[in-house]
Structure 1
Amino acid sequence: MNSYRIPEIAKQYTEYDMIQIHTDLPDFPELRSRLLFAFLNGNTKHSESSELYTLATSLVQLALDTHEMVNASNEIKEKKAARSRQLKVLAGDYFSSRFYYLLSQAGQIDMIKQLSGAICEVNRLKMNLYTKMKQLKMTAEDYIHQTVEIKSQLFLSFSEFMADVYDQAWPDVLRSYTKCEVIFEEIFRTESATGFHGSWGFWHILQHATKEERKQLHAEETDQAKVRTLIHKYNVSSQLYQMLETHIKQLQLKVQQLDSDKLISELFHIGEPILRFSAKQPKVLEEI
């Protein structure tokens, strides 16, 4: 069985001095990347291509996430910020080009088509999400569901590859892990003044807040002290922790139903960082 080394291989594309000095990149999609590699590597039909497929998909995801960080406005005047914005655009384009190059060099034209279709679906889902946000028609539950679908979409394109070995386990396990990942990230967004707007906590409060409280959330210059008060009032953090605990337990049951002991062991290690985080909370979670 090949060992997982995708982040190390990806460094030849991501660790350029110009990028590291002048801008920052999103986190590498470690959890979803490891999941894809584990499932492909356990499938004898596709194990030889598991590293190539996972690397290409991870670079596409990194490209999409990098472009997501680009400020919508191109009117940035400050030189340092403008350069950072430009490099994010170029870096995202570069990561996308590597995906095409790697797969075309390997003669994997069908895989290029498959991932390209998934990219289109990601962009469609994002447009739907942004439209609902702009129209204030988003609920907290919708936000989690749509975010999970957006983050999963590239990796879901491999579902037909997994069907002959893992039946329907791949899409279900992928979405479950991704949901835990999203909730995990939302917990930290709640603790960040800059990241709270548009988060799960934001939409949750908006659903239950009074008219005056909604005005506070929509104010051009948000009073952070008042926002913190609302977060506390509506138990945002505690509800997210509870959601994480619930979904981890559901994921445990799904993983335990898999036939492969090796895969179950690998999935435990993949989810270990989230489990360790959860274990530090008042209610210690059982391990997979």
Structure 2
Amino acid sequence: MLEVIACIDGSKAAPSVCDYAAWASSRMEAPLTLLHVLDEERYPVAPDLTGNIGLGSREHLMEELAELDQKRSKLALEHGHHMLDNAELRARQAGAQQVFKRQRHGDLTESLLALESKTRLIVMGLHGESSAASGRQVGSQLETVIRRLHRPILLVTDTYSQPRSAMLAFDGSPTAFKGVELLAGTPVFKNLPLHILMVGAESDTHWEQLRQAEKKLSGQGIEVHLAIRAGEIEQTLHAYQEEHDIDMLIMGAYGHSRIRQFLVGSTTEKMLETAKKPLVILR
């Protein structure tokens, strides 16, 4: 069975990641795996300092530094286990039924790629542990994960609020319709209002595309609302979301219109930085 993968680290978003992942796991009736990845650059499995300070009289210094690195790695491993234990308790209290824990050494993206075949949804914080340490507003690994993974990604804020409604940014492209089919195939948004918003000029073609999307979703127990708005994509999406008090924004990572330029270009990070509510990135 495909799983929900929740990426757990030491950031402020970690509790929220647990809560949203538990919510999605319950709605999907899918197992939840809590994943913690130890960065090999910060915590190498077998530190190698050969050549860093020379040999001879300084050899004992090299040995001491190697021992310190090994202790740091061991402590980080134990700390990771504690984080996963706490995350498991929180997820179960939030309603998750099947919860598994996994800790790996290596790179986050590579670790997620190794699990991709058994993944249904990835849940990550918008603000990761490394971004907080560096002063970045958005997790430094998000762009790489979004570009390389081919599974839906739920990016969450630091505080949890149970989703009551969602909005799909829709451009009428084949990729957008694939996103609609993906939503139709998941029970996550069943019995929740789903707004389908197209940013552009009103036309018969655009309304027909929206009605086709509505037809695919309306038979799945999803309450669908259609809308077309003119304007700049980022501002228009945020304005519509605030106007209708929508809890979650769903977007395709790639398309064939202004949405594609918007997501792939430099405004990707801008959108993530200005997000005040969770985002779902469809691939």
Q: Could you tell me the TM-score, scaled by structure 1's length?
A: 0.30
Specify which structure has the higher proportion of helix: 1
Q: Could you tell me the TM-score, scaled by structure 2's length?
A: 0.30
Structure of greater relative contact order (alpha carbons < 8 Å, 6+ residues apart): 2
- Larger Cα-atom Rg: 2
Specify which structure has the higher proportion of strand: 2
